[in-house]
Structure 1
């Protein structure tokens, strides 16, 4: 009786493994949102092999940097300290992967997690993890790590399943990146079209209106009554302001400071340029900055940073400013901190300092903007945007 029962259990397990593989393949083929697909895969792998925790590193497209692309049930020591999961930090398994040493099953069961090294509390008992390399031909795409407090040596069949899932993930990563490149090209074409339309219609129309108003104002210099002159000059002032705004929009659309670089790179350039222009010391820090973000998140946070730095230059009297970008699988957080004179946040008039515009940018993406300051205590502006569902 024992052998048939064992055979039945083995058949049931194989059927379950196949159903999980099919579910993963369907999800990876269906979704163009890479983050969702990676998180789904981690959940399925965890259920299949009884491995509670997992995370996935990916190599950036345009650099050898790695970034945390997805995670599941990270222990508190890692979840609450994003810097420990920064892709640029030291990591034995990633270093092994870069050297090409993370290839055979012999390595998989014995990798001790260096990011948990030296920690006692908040690890949930994790110490070791399995590391599955992701490749596309000869190109290195990343590593999937899965772990459990009750570590057990994975069987040859378990390892084969993990490598099969790794192959599926590799195909999904390549597919998502191709889709992203296509979307970026389409966005660039649309941006250029909008710039041409603004220049050819709105900007030219405002320029013509300005000339007419200037001519009318000159004709009225011969002694026209002041009641007629005041609204005319107000109209002229508004038209000139709108013309400048239209020209600035055209420049923003054509300059595309984020094009072909991640947000972290664009922010670093922005901060350096601001420092050179204002003479105020400035530094930029990024955690997991190589991770690509949805274009509208990148654009919103870039504009928030630019507006926040402009406010510091106009109002803070600061000697130093620090801009920090922290990206996790769940959210992106931008903080601009200065050591200036500070102010009473409750006393800011409505609509001043561009706060309303910055808050609207964050809230349109389901995020929030927080401003903390006190007289003599400097200021911190923090914008947080969730990444799930975007």
Structure 2
């Protein structure tokens, strides 16, 4: 019978993965199995801690320290960061002693571990350092050394390559956990800051809207006051013109009629036919004077209201001032849109000037004011049923514009000048009512921002 071939030690080493100088491979195999089991337990502990380290990496760091201490049967373990790494992180080191309790106070560290902490803070060497008492494994992230995992070595305990691999895995897991926690904290702070900024912007926007509404109300009140001032100025101007011209003419006519009546009494007696007619004329002149004085008083003392808020309202107010001596109808066509204070002021002055001329010079009983809005601007016309002649008025306008001697129709030149200043047109034509039609066309205000 053939004898079995002897077993080669190198072949057995290849099969078992264990090299040993001893004849018994079982002891070495058991030791390797224990180390592998320890490594697996350490990695399992780290993986279970990874899911709880979003807010605070202390749990994972504690798990790393426990796994490293259990794997190497070390008395002391420490995780420390370099001074220049992750400056925003509050916890710079964490140590665990024999009892497993965490230490984060430098004064509570033993002397040897305190010296290791000092070296880690200024060390940038990416290699692993192994001495008789300590093992320092770098914590790296994207090629940068963040700090080190420091583990004490029991006297006489051998350190294999597999042990260093386990420590590197633990150190890199800790580095990643710390970095993730730092990013999460930073993102949380940025999100809170963004929310605060959003709340401030929202409050500022609400405050701005409130202030804008207040400014719009104030602008509306100022516009009403401006229109009231315009209406009051026009009313007082009409009163002054009536007092200085019409009232004086009526008074002079009354005196002249009374003189004629006295002469007729001397010639015909108190019952003469001319005397009765002159007495009637005197009474009519006296009534006209009373009406003029009543109108002047009303124009001077009529209180202004707050209801005037637009050009149509202003035109209605101007028309009411000529009652009851002149019936004025106001007609608005198109969609009434704000034209701006300058345009509305000019159109209101044109309407007031035209109505005053009709009331004083045209011997009219009716007048019509028409305001038509369009996309291009606005058209204002004032017509009457009086005795005015458009051709004569155009001639007088040319004389007034050329500096001629006729100053009685300066109002025509004022109306034409207002229309020209606004880039519009001014025309005098025959009205359908039989008298004169004053027509003014002006462009609208320029668009906002132009």
Please say whether Structure 1 and Structure 2 have the same fold, judged by a TM-score greater than 0.5. no
Higher relative contact order (CA 8 A, sep 6+): 1
Q: TM-score, normalised by structure 1?
A: 0.34
Q: TM-score, normalised by structure 2?
A: 0.30
Larger radius of gyration: 2
